[in-house]
Amino acid sequence: MKQRLEYAYPWLLAAPAILPVVIWGGVVYPYLVPKTLLFYAISFVTVGVFGLLVAYGRTFYYARLAKWEAWIPAALLALAYVASAYGLNFYRSFWSVFVRGDGLLMLTCAAASFYLILLYADRTFIRRLIYAVSVIGSFVAVYGIGEWLLSGGRIGSLLGNAAFFAGYLGITFFATLAARLTLPGGWRRLAMAGAVLQVIAIILTATRGTMLALSVAGIACLAYFAFAGEGKRRIWSVGALSALVILGGLFFMLRSELAHVPFEPIARIASISTSDPDVASRLFIWKNMIGQIEQHPWLGVGAEHIDALFNNFYDPTQIQEQWFDRSHNAFLDYAAQYGIGGLLLYLALIAAFFTAARRLARQGEKSFAGLIALLAITYSVQNFFVFDTISSFWPLLALLAASLAASFGDVPREVVPLPSWARYAAGIFALVLVVLIIPVTVRPALAAHDLLEAYKYQITDVPKEVSYLTRGLALGTYGDLEYGYEVYDMYANNQVPVLPVSGSARSDAYHEALTILTTNFDRYTYDARTALYLASVLSLAPPGVAVDKNLLLSAIERAIRLSPKRAQPWYLLVNIALSNANQYPPKSTERIAGYAAAQGLLSRYIALVPTSAEPHFVLAQLLFASGNSAGANAEAMKGKADYRGSLETARRAAAYYESVLDLNDAAFFLSEIVRLDPTDTAAQSDLAKIQAYEQSHK
C-alpha cells in the first residue's frame, strides 16, 4: 500500500500541469469549467494521499516551512477567508461562478498544491515538474499556431481566450528555458524550439500585455549583461540594447502607419494610446476601481465580488463591456477583494521568486536564478493588464514552490511521529476527500451539462428545456447565478423573438425564467445583473399573463441603485410610464402627463451620462411621437454629435431617422448597422431600398 502511494504521489503533484489541454464539449463553458473541476478532484486526491503517506511514516522536508517565504500563500489564504467572511457573500466567495471558478475553494486547492510540492520536491522531481510544464506549454503553443494558420485572428488555443493563452505561455516560456538547462544535446535543441514556438504563439495572440511583459524582461536581461556581464556577452548585450533603442524610435515614428498594417499583433501595439478605446476603457476602470478600493481599504469586499464594485461606476460612454467581474489588473483585483493586506501579500508572493533567485545565484545556479527572476518580471508586468485562471495560477505557484525548494538548500527529511491509530484516521480522511469530489466536482459538472442541454432545446422543445433546467438546479450546486444569467439570455434574446406570442411554450419559458431569477433576486441582493434581468423578463411577459408590478418596480429600483448609469433599467421605467399613459385616450390630460413623465425620466438619465448618444435618440423618438418635431430634431442632433460607433445606438438612430423620413441620416446609420453586424439582413434590405430610391431620384 505505502509503496503504491509513494509511486503515485509525484504524478499526482504534477498532474495539474495537464489542465490547459483539458477540454470537454459537454459543458456550457468548455474552456474553463472542466479545468477547474478537474483541478478540485486532483487536489482532493493528492491531499488524501499525502495524509496517508504521513500516517505511514513517509519523510518530508518539513524544515522548509521555517523560511518566511513558505508562509506567504498561507497568509494570503487566511486573509482571503477573513475578508470573505466580512464581505458581501461568503457562499459566493467560496464557490465562485461556473464561468470563473476562482473563488476560495480554488485558492485553497492551489495553496495546498504549493505546500505539497514544497514539502516533497527534490532535485529529480523539480526537473520532472519543469519538463512537464514545458512540454504541455509547447503543445498548447503548437495547437494555437495551428489555429491561427487555419482561421487567423487572435487565437485562444486550448484556453479559449487570447489573453489567458498568452498569460499562460508567459510562464511556461521560462519553464521551457529552465528545462533546457538540464537536458542533453538534441533535447536541448528541442526545448529551444518549444520556447521559440511559445513566443511565436504569444505574438499571434496579439495580447499587448504579455508582449510588453516579455519585452521588459528582455530589456532587463540585456541591461544586466550590459552592466554586469563580461567579454562577448557584454558587447552583444550593449549592441542589442542599442538596436532596440533605434528600432523603438523608428516604431514610434511610424506608429500611425503601422497601426493600419494587416498583421494584428503589430497593429495592436502601434495603436496603443490613451485615445485607443480599449486603453481608455481600462484606464477609466482602474481609476474608478482605486476609488472603490479606498472605500473598503482593509478587508475589501471578499472574493469574487469585483463585479459589485464595477457596477457602481459602470458608464456606457467609457466602458465597452456590459458586465465585468475583473478589473483586468490582478493587483487591483487582490486589493479590491482582500484589501491592502491582500495586495501586499500578492506582491510578497511575486517577491519570493526574487529571494529564491538570489539564493540560487549564491549557490552557483545563476542561469536558473536568472530565469526565475525574469519569470517574476514577466508575470508582474502581464498581470498588470490581465488576471489569472487556474491554467496560469497553478504553474506560477508550482514553479515558486520548486524554486524555493531548490533555493533552501539541503535540509533533512523528517518523519512526523504519529500513534498507530493515525493510519485509520488518515484512511477515513482520504475517503472523505474522495467522497467530497461528488458534490465539489461531479454534481457541478452535471449541472453545467444540463444547462448546455437546456440551450439545445430552448426553441425546439421548451418542456425539455425546462426539464433540464429544473434537473440542473435540483443538484444544489453553486450554478444558480449562472443559470439565472443564461436563462435570461435564452428567454429575452432567443425565445421571445422566435416563439409564438401566445401559447404554452412561450408561457412555460417565461415562468421558468421568472422562477429562477426571482429566487436569485431574493438571495443575491447585491447583484445588479440579476435585478436587471428579472425586470427585463417581467417586462417581456406573454400576453394575458399577470405581472407582479411591485416586483418589477423593485427589480428596476435595485438595478438603478446598484448600477445607476446603466441604460436598460431607465428604459424599462420609461416603457412603464408610456404603457400607463397609453391606457388613456390620445390628447387626454393623463396621456400627456404620462408622456411628460417618460420624457422626464429620459432627461434624468441623460443628465447622468450626458455624452451618451443612445438616450438622445430614444428621447427624440418619444418627442416626435408626442408631436414635438423641433425638440426631437434637437435631441437627434445631440445624439449624432456624440455617436461613437455603437450598434445599439445605430439601431436607435436608424429607427428615428426612418420615422421622420430623413433618408440621408437613415442611410448613414443603416450602413453603420451593417458594418457592425453584417448578419442584420433587415438593415441591409432597408439600406438597399434607400440607396435605390436615391439613385432613381438623381
Q: Report phi then psi at 152, rounded to 5.
A: 70, -170
Whole-number Cα distances in Å, 626 to 88, 151, 597, 605: 45, 50, 12, 19
Predicted confidence band of residue 367 (pLDDT cuts 50, 70, 90) = very high
Pair (599, 615) in one structural domain: no
In the chain, % of residues over pLDDT 70: 99
Residue 157 lies in a domain: yes
- Lowest-confidence range among 155-169, 220-234, 318-332, 549-563? 220-234
Does the pLDDT of residue 25 top 80, yes or no? no
State the Cα–Cα distance between residues 134 and 182, nearest whole angstrom: 13
Pair (596, 637) in one structural domain: no
Predicted confidence band of residue 533 (pLDDT cuts 50, 70, 90) = very high
Residue 634 lies in a domain: yes
Q: Please name the residues in contact with 79: beta carbons below 8 A apart, sequence gap of 6 or more.
A: 338, 339, 341, 342, 345
DSSP code of residue 439 = I
pLDDT value for 270 = 84
State the Cα–Cα distance between residues 602 and 593, nearest whole angstrom: 14
For CA atoms 365, 368, 370, 372, give the dihedral sign: negative
Across the range 104-133, mean pLDDT stands at: 97
Across the range 575-593, mean pLDDT stands at: 91
pLDDT value for 152 = 84
- Compute the C-alpha angle 556/313/277, nearest 5°: 115
What confidence tens digit (pLDDT) does each residue in 638-654 have?
Answer: 999 999 888 999 999 99
Pair (527, 641) in one structural domain: no
Residue at a domain's end among 541, 575, 603 = 603
- Compute the C-alpha angle 224/396/284, nearest 5°: 85
- Compute the C-alpha angle 294/297/303, nearest 5°: 110
Does the pLDDT of residue 698 top 70, yes or no? no
pLDDT value for 489 = 95
- Radius of gyration for the chain, computed over Cα atoms and rounded to the nearest angstrom: 29
State the Cα–Cα distance between residues 418 and 58, nearest whole angstrom: 11
Pair (400, 478) in one structural domain: no
State the Cα–Cα distance between residues 13 and 172, nearest whole angstrom: 17
Cβ–Cβ under 8 Å, residues 270 and 258:
yes
Predicted confidence band of residue 313 (pLDDT cuts 50, 70, 90) = very high
DSSP codes joined into one string, 369-433: HHHHHHHHHHHHHHTTT----HHHHHHHHHHHHHHHHHHT-----B-----TTHHHHHHHHHHHH
Cβ–Cβ under 8 Å, residues 155 and 148:
yes
Q: HSE, CB side, 13 Å, CA atoms: give it for residue 230.
A: 0
In the numeric block, the cell 515558486 is attached to: 400
Across the range 577-585, mean pLDDT stands at: 92
Residue 254 lies in a domain: yes
Between the CA atoms of 332, 68, 176 and 362, what dihedral angle is there, to the nearest 10 degrees?
Answer: 130
Does the pLDDT of residue 161 top 70, yes or no? yes
Q: Please name the residues in contact with 383: beta carbons below 8 A apart, sequence gap of 6 or more.
A: 167, 329, 330, 331
Does the pLDDT of residue 257 top 80, yes or no? yes
Number of domains in the chain: 4
State the Cα–Cα distance between residues 206 and 500, nearest whole angstrom: 44
State the Cα–Cα distance between residues 278 and 276, nearest whole angstrom: 6
Pair (214, 313) in one structural domain: yes
pLDDT value for 254 = 82
State the Cα–Cα distance between residues 323 and 528, nearest whole angstrom: 10
DSSP code of residue 63 = G
pLDDT value for 32 = 67
End-to-end CA distance of the chain: 91
pLDDT value for 375 = 98
Q: Please name the residues in contact with 397: beta carbons below 8 A apart, sequence gap of 6 or more.
A: 73, 110, 111, 113, 114
Cβ–Cβ under 8 Å, residues 205 and 162:
yes
**pTM exceeding the 0.85 threshold for the entire prediction:** yes
In the numeric block, the cell 400627456 is attached to: 592
Across the chain, mean pLDDT equals 93
pLDDT value for 147 = 94
Pair (239, 143) in one structural domain: yes
Residue 447 lies in a domain: no
pLDDT value for 7 = 93
Pair (477, 550) in one structural domain: yes
Predicted confidence band of residue 233 (pLDDT cuts 50, 70, 90) = confident
Residue at a domain's end among 603, 630, 658 = 603
Kindly state the cell numbers that stand for 665.
441620416
Pair (273, 396) in one structural domain: yes
Q: Backbone dihedral region of 666: left (phi > 0), alpha (psi from -120 to 50 degrees) or beta?
A: alpha
Residues for the chain: how many in total?
698
Does the pLDDT of residue 524 top 70, yes or no? yes
Residue 5 lies in a domain: no
What confidence tens digit (pLDDT) does each residue in 547-566 have?
Answer: 999 999 999 999 999 999 99
Pair (279, 152) in one structural domain: yes
In the numeric block, the cell 482605486 is attached to: 290
Of the candidates 333, 354, 352, the one whose C-alpha atom is nearest the C-alpha of residue 397 is 352
Predicted confidence band of residue 502 (pLDDT cuts 50, 70, 90) = confident
State the Cα–Cα distance between residues 416 and 53, nearest whole angstrom: 10
Residue at a domain's end among 388, 407, 426 = 407
Q: Please name the residues in contact with 588: beta carbons below 8 A apart, sequence gap of 6 or more.
A: none
Kindly state the cell numbers that stand for 320.
465597452
Residue 38 lies in a domain: no
Of 278 and 488, the one with more pLDDT: 488
In the numeric block, the cell 493587483 is attached to: 331
Residue 437 lies in a domain: no
State the Cα–Cα distance between residues 470 and 460, nearest whole angstrom: 17
Residue 647 lies in a domain: yes
Of the candidates 118, 103, 106, the one whose C-alpha atom is nearest the C-alpha of residue 13 is 118
Give the three-state DSSP class for 102: coil
For residue 534, give its domain range.
Answer: 457-565
Chain centre to alpha carbon of residue 207:
14
pLDDT value for 457 = 94
Of 261 and 335, the one with more pLDDT: 335
Beta bridge partners of 414: 60
Does the pLDDT of residue 28 top 70, yes or no? no
- Burial label, 384 (beta-carbon count in 10 A; 0-12, 13-18, 19+): middle
pLDDT value for 229 = 79
Give the three-state DSSP class for 60: strand
pLDDT value for 692 = 83
Pair (475, 587) in one structural domain: no
pLDDT value for 86 = 97
pLDDT value for 303 = 97
pLDDT value for 256 = 82
DSSP code of residue 486 = H
- Burial label, 238 (beta-carbon count in 10 A; 0-12, 13-18, 19+): middle
Q: Backbone dihedral region of 154: left (phi > 0), alpha (psi from -120 to 50 degrees) or beta?
A: beta
State the Cα–Cα distance between residues 205 and 201, nearest whole angstrom: 6
Pair (515, 593) in one structural domain: no
Whole-number Cα distances in Å, 259 to 130, 206, 216, 272, 640: 38, 13, 21, 9, 27
Give the three-state DSSP class for 627: coil
Percentage helix, strand, coil, to 5, in the chain? 75, 0, 25
Kindly state the cell numbers that stand for 326.
475583473
Pair (507, 629) in one structural domain: no
Q: Please name the residues in contact with 228: beta carbons below 8 A apart, sequence gap of 6 or more.
A: none
Cβ–Cβ under 8 Å, residues 666 and 636:
no
Across the range 487-507, mean pLDDT stands at: 90
Range with the largest mean pLDDT of 113-117, 228-232, 251-255: 113-117
Cβ–Cβ under 8 Å, residues 594 and 602:
no
Whole-number Cα distances in Å, 180 to 135, 163, 183, 191, 569: 11, 26, 5, 6, 57
Predicted confidence band of residue 31 (pLDDT cuts 50, 70, 90) = low
pLDDT value for 252 = 83
